[in-house]
Structure 1
Amino acid sequence: MGSGGDQESGGVATTTTTKSKLRYNSPLVQVVLIGLVCFCCPGMFNALSGMGAGGQVDPTAANNANTALYTTFAVFGVLGGGFYNILGPRLTLAAGCSTYILYAGSFLYYNHHQHQAFAIVAGAILGIGAGFLWAGQGAIMTSYPPPNRKGTYIALFWSIFNTGGVIGGLIPFALNYHREAPSVNDATYIGFMIFMSAGTILSLAILPPSRVIREDGSQCTKIKYSKPSTEAIEILKLFGNWKMLLIAPAAWASNFFYTYQFNNVNAAKFNVRTRGLNNVFYWGAQMVGAFAIGQVLDFSCKSRRNRGFLGIAIVGVMGTAIWGGGLADQLGYSFDKMPAKLDFKESGGKFAGPFVLYFGYGLLDAVFQSLVYWVIGALADDSEVLSRYVGFYKGIQSAGAAVAWQLDTKKVPMLTQLIVSWVLTTISYPLLIVLVALAVTDEVKPEEDKNGEALDRKSYADESDNSKPI
């Protein structure tokens, strides 16, 4: 039945009701822990990628490394949920986190030797590890919280996670403040590697879902470990699952736009130290956006379905406004007519507009992805099922990202990249509305376990306690 590394030593976990949210085995503490793990690993990776070109002057190595990364991520993102269900969170997360260290180290090597082969191989390995990490993260973030607080917990995770991007942006900003070199220095990559190593160690503190107890005394799942044959069958079924097919366009879009934003806005328009500063605010905007949309999705209406509709409408309006601003800005430059690099201190008023736009892109990313995670979390309430759903989401997401990085490598016009990104996000809104209308309810129906027996699920139609904080 898979590795026993995460199993408790005996008996079924107690279901005694407890009011404490600060217990080690509470959903709140476990979501905070996975947030800190992602703060250290993908948070720092985001800061590295957000500088554009991996902090280098030539984006070719970073583009090819990211293509390799997202190609393997597309496969192992889908498979990641199965590995999580077999191995449990500790082994899955620790294995995934360790690959981030190798990736950052490959750019340290590239700084000296300018050979991209190591970066490409490290990118491919990171794709495998990222599939493990994000499947585990998604299962924890969507299944551990109480059903009527999923938006708030997703916002909490997203804020902690993106603090990594904020601090990660400060690293190149501070270490390259007085440098005029076009690429970042060695200390920048070493700083990233130290944080990533800490995240790998911290991942060992995550509890298996059967040991996490909600305030009402219920376990997050009664299922401890799955089998490879079971996971293979269930993963294959996802490709014919109508719910996942409706999610697929949003998944494809959700990382597709990163290439355009990082390489063709931040790297194309700003110098190295300003790119680091921009990242601080880009990931800071994500914290603001995640909190705001989390409040809408948990507290705006009594009906969970109506909250979903309202959230989609808000994100759709924001997306139209921000991408429209991006279009107006993009019409002023191209690969054939590159702009002069902007500096936050020396460019005066020319810096303000592009800076606000980049901040808006960060805000949109947070509300868009938080919305999709909330919808996925509303489709089920068990970590085994949700780990597969999130794995599917991350796999499709990564396939889109792999295509996007190669489009940029092939110098597809910047304007085309922007329009495709805008269209992809826009197409996803009506499909999410259909999914919420057909699959999201205000009461969880009893599900059946593998033996055909009904699992004990509490109704959460009554959400009269919405005023209570987490």
Structure 2
Amino acid sequence: MVLPISPALFLRADNAPSQLSFGTVGMFSAVSNLGAGGTQDVALSDTSQGVLYGLFALTGLVSGGINNILGPRLTMFLGTLGYALYVGALWCFQTQATRWFLILAGALLGVSAALLWSAQGSIMMSYPLEKDKGKSFSIFWAIFQFGSLIGSLIALGINIRSGGLTAVSTSTYIAFLVIIFIGIASAFLILPPNRVIRGDGTIVKLEAASHPREEIIGMGRLLKDWRMLALLPMFFASNYFYAYQGAVNALMFDGPTRALNGALEGAGAIIGALMIGFFVLDGKRFKRRTRGYLGLGIVAGMTVIVWAVGLSWQVTFTRADAKILLEQKALINYKHANYRGKGALYFFYFFNDACYQALAYWIMSALTNDPFTLARFAGLYKAVQSAGSAGSFGMDAVFTPFLNEHLASWCLMLVSYPLAYLVIRTIKETNYDTEKMVYVDDVKAEIAEKGDAPHAAEDNHSSIEKEKE
């Protein structure tokens, strides 16, 4: 059903997704960056994360369609609830040792997170103008990672006096939960696509929602698109390294230093996202496809350099060495001489990660401007990404040597770049010439001519839909 539109319903901006992600995903990321979800039980954390990402992958296959049917506001609200439950389960485990609840919370978070990220991805990729899509990702990722940065600083401030602390304190979880609940409330500020107009006066989408039959057909077409198939390795690799980096952080560093590393990760991600989005992917000096090539070259080069430096450290220790450090209460502290360079490595790990994620989203957003199609893209992206995460946490849960995890993460990223290049080759300078744009002023004029009654607006929509066909 096409919903009636009146001129008063159009709004120019919608920043709620970034605010929401700051308070929910950002806080979850902050807890994860503390290593083992803030606990010292890496095996349990890996199990819950494996379940989380396994269900995330399954739900991601249909989450784009769910978003298109329910609309972004309800979808994002449902998607935020799992984050509060999961952080609450971590707190419960810390105080009551309830292992089963943490695994259950991970499963429920996997389902809800798929909904959140599909809605967020659709908004981030379809609401801005084509020339601003890199900036759109940068702003979102910077705000989201700022949540991680603030969360890590909160944890660092609370735990800084206990240098021998191996797990995160109760007050840390309380601080996280307060911020998460504020983020959940902001979901009600989300606008549907038919109430948002871009800076050039075009309506993002005439319809507020889709239909189940359309989503089934749309998903079938998506799975037949060779470009999406070519991007699958990039999707799979995009979060694979988190298990390795989190395990090393948890087993090699003490509590305050893990929090410091989390803050450095957040800072690296913020700076990386802003730099590649504003100065590379949306740079004004080159055409769009050239900017894609440039972004791919920069990200590939950083991947080689940063992970080579990481390898030079990784070959100096094993899991057995980490266990000895814990038993001897000699975990690395930021005040120690052997911490030198480690913080910088974590900074650039996440600098590179932000650029990698930005490139993946930018490529998808350059293929179309349609929010319903981009919601399906985002769902597939998060599904395959989460499948990779589930595999990597499963790999870590069985105590795979750190060196093997490092090389697997690195090689997966390197393999994805040639295939991403093939997709970038198909990017056009603009999609406006093939995807008909509707201007809000034209809609208002037609409504004014026919009268402001709901049936007039609905007739107007029908006529515009016929023109599009």
- TM-score when scaled to structure 2? 0.89
CA distance in 2, matches of 1:259, 1:380: 32
CA distance in 1, matches of 2:12, 2:359: 24
Whether contact under 8 Å (1:209, 1:220) holds in the other structure is yes
**2:155 aligned with 1:172, yes or no?**
yes
Q: CA deviation at 1:61?
A: 1.7
CA distance in 2, matches of 1:248, 1:223: 29
Q: CA deviation at 1:268?
A: 2.4
1:404 alignment counterpart? 392
Counterpart mapping for 1:38-57 below 5 A: 38-57=21-40
CA distance in 1, matches of 2:17, 2:227: 26
**2:11 aligned with 1:25, yes or no?**
yes
Q: CA deviation at 1:243?
A: 1.4
2:370 alignment counterpart? 382
2:407 alignment counterpart? 419
Counterpart mapping for 1:410-449 below 5 A: 410-447=398-435
CA distance in 2, matches of 1:352, 1:13: 59
Whether contact under 8 Å (2:75, 2:115) holds in the other structure is yes
2:443 alignment counterpart? none
1:352-371 deviations in Å (ceiling 9; x for gaps): 21111111101011000011
**2:334 aligned with 1:344, yes or no?**
yes
1:195-240 deviations in Å (ceiling 9; x for gaps): 1111110011011011001122111112221111221232233222
Aligned partner of residue 346 in structure 2, secondary structure:
helix
Aligned partner of residue 241 in structure 2, secondary structure:
helix
Whether contact under 8 Å (1:13, 1:211) holds in the other structure is no
Summarize the Cα distance change of 1:382–1:442 in structure 2 as closer, same or farther, 3 Å threshold. Answer: closer
Give unpaired runs (5+ residues) of structure 1.
2-6, 16-23, 457-470
Give unpaired runs (5+ residues) of structure 2.
438-461
2:119 alignment counterpart? 136
% identical aligned pairs = 36
1:129-184 deviations in Å (ceiling 9; x for gaps): 10010000000000000111111111111111110000110121111112233111
**2:13 aligned with 1:11, yes or no?**
no
Whether contact under 8 Å (1:223, 1:384) holds in the other structure is no
Counterpart mapping for 1:196-207 below 5 A: 196-207=180-191
**2:90 aligned with 1:107, yes or no?**
yes
RMSD: 2.0
Structure having the higher Rg: 2
Whether contact under 8 Å (2:369, 2:431) holds in the other structure is no
**2:57 aligned with 1:74, yes or no?**
yes
Q: Which amino acid aligns with 2:356?
A: F
Q: Which amino acid aligns with 1:100?
A: Y
Q: Which amino acid aligns with 1:432?
A: A
CA distance in 1, matches of 2:53, 2:253: 26
Aligned partner of residue 174 in structure 2, secondary structure:
helix
Q: Which amino acid aligns with 1:406?
A: G
Summarize the Cα distance change of 1:394–1:12 in structure 2 as closer, same or farther, 3 Å threshold. Answer: farther
Counterpart mapping for 1:279-294 below 5 A: 279-294=262-277
Q: CA deviation at 1:80?
A: 1.2
Q: CA deviation at 1:60?
A: 1.7
1:242-270 deviations in Å (ceiling 9; x for gaps): 11111111110011100111112x21221
CA distance in 2, matches of 1:430, 1:440: 19
Whether contact under 8 Å (2:35, 2:246) holds in the other structure is yes
1:230 alignment counterpart? 214
Q: CA deviation at 1:439?
A: 3.6
**2:314 aligned with 1:324, yes or no?**
no
CA distance in 1, matches of 2:183, 2:318: 39
Whether contact under 8 Å (2:165, 2:254) holds in the other structure is no
Q: Which amino acid aligns with 2:282?
A: D
CA distance in 2, matches of 1:155, 1:432: 20
Whether contact under 8 Å (1:138, 1:390) holds in the other structure is yes
More helix by share: 2
2:238 alignment counterpart? 254
